[in-house]
Structure 1
């Protein structure tokens, strides 16, 4: 496999991370914060028209349908590829939640940039970190640390992550040894410029869970006539990303290119997808943050007095939703380290809920922005127009929802019969900022069974809040909401217990798929309650129940359960914090980080 020359940045990274991860364990979170702040400052003020990495330059590149070359060069120089390499192999990847934090400065500016220069390499390499040979891991780590890219070949945009489609075959070659790779795929990110290809291909003509295998290939080693680059495909969203196709025609694949064992393709995909889903949700929040910021700008610019009352509900509601989405994503990402054998269903639930909430949020913010939200290319207001186009292409549309249903639906009856109201709560470190967690280990991620720690957390939160019901104020409203979600969980349990065995198939009826919607919203509420309970008082706003009351009320309304009236002052309290953060240049997520301006 080709390797890139290691830059000074990445050589330093290797030296710093060569020591045992345990020695760095207490510093992981601080290091991630420092890297995120450094990258935020290097990217500079996004609203400065003269900034080569600002929104004006990024929107211009999007109009040209070209990658923003200068910003990609900056990201390469800073060693962004090290974020996708586990620390044990010389990189900076320790925990998934810290990875998302480190990547948010990029996604805050441009989802397409985040995919085109970065996160796609993470999606591709997960299978290698999970099951690759020492040589494969070493070569891939060196490639990414040197600024190289990896791409993944398995899913079409038309059917999202449906890896069981016959797009590639790699049938054994008994005489020569190894495999013969054939097939075509028209839409691949960075197909024309990737230095490594991770290919999911059918290796068994029989249908079943072990029909596919994974191969790590070097495109430079393809023999003439066995690999053909197909024309670029232009997309409605993420227009600066280079999508194109590849066609293999009898390409010889050596046996040592196999990742793991023959037939491991589907299990490896299921194991790594939970990381991918959770990280996507954790970073795309930053893009929605930028749109909310433009809406606050529209509502406050030219006004000497308070924000007009007609915008209060939309602005505070979206702010509460972003905090809720961050709560869900943060818990899912931490669970990958703390509860790796049990995180897969909750990861799918988060990926199910967060895109829907963000799409609804964009609709609400459009009412505040009006025509300005579609001022194409405007740094101040054009982020709405771009994100509306980018989200579906980023896998945050209907097809992605269907893939999450395929994970959740088969588990519902088992969870109802054996897990809900029957298991212990997860460790409090799952919700506590600054808690030390184990490193992310792809090889121990589970893909079936494991109970439901989030349902248990919901029941525990409601029990602790029960004494506050009826006392009035925001804490009483929070207690009432917690109990309402528990009641809904009980009702869902009774429904799911009556599901026929056939409902476990991914092609279950729409009526059964609706149950996954109910379930996902319930455990999302559990994440909000858990994050609120995990506060230590360092952030007075997050320690106050007001934001959680508003967030849970909106989740409850989506679920169709009775919700109490918002207590007096709840909306005003959330609005005041939103305006304070806007004026102070702080992010609208749980971290409230300082932004470049």
Structure 2
């Protein structure tokens, strides 16, 4: 059963609830940051590469973002900020991430990740205090034993024991972003020695109020990526925590983390594709620089393939970000699937672009080409490596048997507003986010898309190819259903490599559903997106990764996608579904 949230109109609602508003904010930020390829621009790629090489934060650009009021993007409108929907937030932040993932984390969304627990369960006073902090340019950071900043997952955790007037906090963590400069620390600490869903609680800590000798700042940790971000550690020894610092109730921490992390995962996927777009732009420069004629044929496959993947990744991310507003009780499953598949797409895309760029992809002397090397190093540190995939598998695998038995091929499709650009959606409400159950609306969407395309199956042309691919993914879902029905009910399945492969296949299947849904929703405003060619290429690549049979593609599809790619490169347009103008 698909349950949708209600769209509520607030009297005198502030600016920011439409896609046009978010794109306007992004355009303003794009203009402020300036041409990333201008070597004299203090906020351009050359300056950001230099800061990364020196392992220092880009202070001048952070100051610009503070003066631009970026912190308001992380504060709900009810508390004076600009946060309405997660999909609009991602659009507004893309200008930052297309230049530097480390900057996006170091000055940007880490504060949102920390504040999410407050938006989910904080008291009115806590919400307003955190809002005021972020609105005046302050930072928040998150201390959680399962939050991985890279593949080096920290096993340390914090514990809080009851004491007079509240709690005493102990514990250590060695790698925390902005540990030494955050104005607020959001700590997930163990409050029950027993293992289980009620083992942890969330606390808000003011570092300045801890008292002498209670908090020790550990040395800075140098990581291979995101070198311009500041990572260091904290150790607490009997630090006093007042009772009013508890967020929600004691024991709510695990459930809160599951709510907040689905937003965090989805937003990351919604912004990091823009960073990969910068690398694609570099590859297009390398493939066309000094050439009068068309792009050399040997580069057609990697360039068009990566472009199709970026459109597919944007489709997946956009749909899940919209689902957080429209289908909040059910979005958790798709959020894990998207965070599972999008990083894999991007890692493979960077490998393909490396064949086009060659040694130039590692040249930081100028702004034109070095984004490849930096992003290859930054992605794992941003939680887009193996550790991030493992956390998503832990969400997906336990639910596969139940989905196979009760959801697949029996649920209704989600509302069309989930896919259609410009649709009016409810604001994001963390409190409504489900953490288990709820069925699988994306599998239902896949089956519906394939049924609507069925009449074209076996015909010539791109629509016939798309119909064939849609049916191939439905066939894969049927095969997956049979295998998942035989899964054991015990938790041992989490460590079985054969079961992990099933989660790979599932994530790819629902990713394909997002591509089909976005293509079906096109109204013809953008002729390229309304044509099936990009979706056919994207789905054929996704099918190939899963071992799903791929029908022969019609002639001209690659050339059609390449023509659009070249047009966007020459006109300075983004390589995503929005096709927005960049500062060049």
TM > 0.5 fold call? yes
Following superposition of structure 1 onto structure 2, how do residues 439-454 of structure 1 map, counting pairs within 5 Å? 439-454=427-442
Deviations 1:77-134, CA, capped at 9 Å, x for gaps = 0000000001111100000000000000000000000000011001000000000011
**Residue number in structure 2 paired with 1:596:** 583
**Residue number in structure 2 paired with 1:511:** 498
Distance 1:460 1:416 in 2: 17
SS in 2 for 1:213: strand
SS in 2 for 1:123: helix
Deviations 1:283-340, CA, capped at 9 Å, x for gaps = 0000000000000000001000000000000000000000000000000000000000
**Residue number in structure 1 paired with 2:62:** 72
**Residue number in structure 2 paired with 1:82:** 72
Distance 1:113 1:331 in 2: 25
SS in 2 for 1:470: coil
**Residue number in structure 1 paired with 2:509:** 522
Following superposition of structure 1 onto structure 2, how do residues 18-57 of structure 1 map, counting pairs within 5 Å? 20=10, 23-24=13-14, 27-57=17-47
The structure, 1 or 2, with the larger RCO (C-alpha pairs under 8 Å, 6+ apart) is 2
- Residue 246 of structure 1 is aligned with which of 215, 227, 234? 234
**Residue number in structure 2 paired with 1:115:** 105
Distance 1:168 1:535 in 2: 49
- Residue 148 of structure 1 is aligned with which of 138, 145, 159? 138
Indicate conservation of the 8 Å contact 2:149/2:175, yes or no.
no
Indicate conservation of the 8 Å contact 1:406/1:506, yes or no.
no
- TM-score, scaled relative to structure 1: 0.95
Distance 1:437 1:25 in 2: 15
Say if 1:241 and 1:122 are closer, same or farther in 2 by CA, change over 3 A: same
**Residue number in structure 2 paired with 1:345:** 333
- TM-score, scaled relative to structure 2: 0.97
**Residue number in structure 2 paired with 1:291:** 279
Say if 1:265 and 1:23 are closer, same or farther in 2 by CA, change over 3 A: same
- Residue 376 of structure 1 is aligned with which of 360, 364, 368? 364
Distance 2:365 2:145 in 1: 31
SS in 2 for 1:507: helix
Indicate conservation of the 8 Å contact 2:50/2:364, yes or no.
no
- Residue 96 of structure 1 is aligned with which of 86, 94, 116? 86
Q: Is 1:499 aligned with 2:487?
A: yes
Distance 2:33 2:442 in 1: 37
SS in 2 for 1:501: coil
**Residue number in structure 2 paired with 1:464:** 452
Distance 2:394 2:551 in 1: 33
Query: Shift of the alpha carbon at 1:156?
Result: 6.2
Indicate conservation of the 8 Å contact 1:155/1:162, yes or no.
no
SS in 1 for 2:413: coil
Indicate conservation of the 8 Å contact 2:156/2:173, yes or no.
no
SS in 2 for 1:457: helix
Unaligned runs of 5+ in 1: 1-18
- Residue 480 of structure 1 is aligned with which of 438, 448, 468? 468
Query: Shift of the alpha carbon at 1:507?
Result: 3.4
**Residue number in structure 1 paired with 2:126:** 136
Say if 1:155 and 1:288 are closer, same or farther in 2 by CA, change over 3 A: farther
SS in 2 for 1:489: helix
Say if 1:166 and 1:413 are closer, same or farther in 2 by CA, change over 3 A: same
**Residue number in structure 1 paired with 2:569:** 582
Query: Shift of the alpha carbon at 1:375?
Result: 1.3
Deviations 1:376-395, CA, capped at 9 Å, x for gaps = 34310000010000000000
Say if 1:373 and 1:519 are closer, same or farther in 2 by CA, change over 3 A: same
Distance 2:201 2:487 in 1: 33
- Residue 323 of structure 2 is aligned with which of 324, 335, 342? 335
Indicate conservation of the 8 Å contact 1:163/1:266, yes or no.
no
- Residue 387 of structure 2 is aligned with which of 395, 399, 418? 399
Indicate conservation of the 8 Å contact 2:150/2:385, yes or no.
no
Distance 1:577 1:63 in 2: 35
Query: Shift of the alpha carbon at 1:27?
Result: 4.7
Indicate conservation of the 8 Å contact 1:161/1:403, yes or no.
no
Say if 1:165 and 1:213 are closer, same or farther in 2 by CA, change over 3 A: farther
SS in 1 for 2:13: helix
Say if 1:280 and 1:27 are closer, same or farther in 2 by CA, change over 3 A: closer
Indicate conservation of the 8 Å contact 2:151/2:380, yes or no.
no
Q: Is 1:563 aligned with 2:547?
A: no
Say if 1:85 and 1:21 are closer, same or farther in 2 by CA, change over 3 A: farther
Query: Shift of the alpha carbon at 1:230?
Result: 0.7
Deviations 1:391-437, CA, capped at 9 Å, x for gaps = 00000000000000000000000000000000000000000000000
Q: Is 1:362 aligned with 2:338?
A: no
Indicate conservation of the 8 Å contact 1:328/1:524, yes or no.
yes
RMSD: 1.6
Indicate conservation of the 8 Å contact 2:180/2:217, yes or no.
yes
